[in-house]
Amino acid sequence: MSSNLKPYADLKAKVRDYQAKDGKTKGIYVKVGTLFASPHLSHMFINIEALPVGKDWDGTVSVFKREDVVDNAEDIEL
C-alpha cells in the first residue's frame, strides 16, 4: 500500500434488521474493512478484514465515509 493513501471510509455489511422504538425498521451493520484513498481520490485501495457468513447477509457491502476525513477533493469533477 502506498504511503500517501489514508483511511477514507469504512466498509460495512448489514447483518440483520431490527424494529426501533419509533416503529421503523433499521439495520445492524458490522465493519468488514477499510477503504484507503489518495488525497485527490485518484487512487483507492480496499482492505477486507472480515466477511459475515450468516444467512441474513445478502452479499453487499456499504461504504460509509469516515467522520475524521478532511475532504481534499472538493474541486474534483466526477
Confidence of residue 20 (pLDDT cuts 50, 70, 90): very high
Evaluate whether residue 57 is within a structural domain: yes
pLDDT tier, 78 (very low <50, low <70, confident <90, very high otherwise)? very low
- The C-alpha angle 64, 51, 12, rounded to 5 degrees, equals 10
pTM reported for the whole predicted model: 0.77
* Cβ pair 65, 12 in contact under 8 A: no
**Range(s) of the domain holding residue 39:** 6-65
Query: How many domains, in total, are found in the chain?
Result: 1
- Residue range 20-36: mean pLDDT, rounded: 95
Quick: pLDDT tens for 31-74: 999 999 998 899 999 999 998 888 888 899 999 999 988 765 55
In a domain, 47, yes or no: yes
Residue 74 within a domain: no
61-78 burial, b at 16+ Cβ within 10 Å, e below that, comes to beeeeeeeeeeeeeeeee
73 in any annotated domain:
no
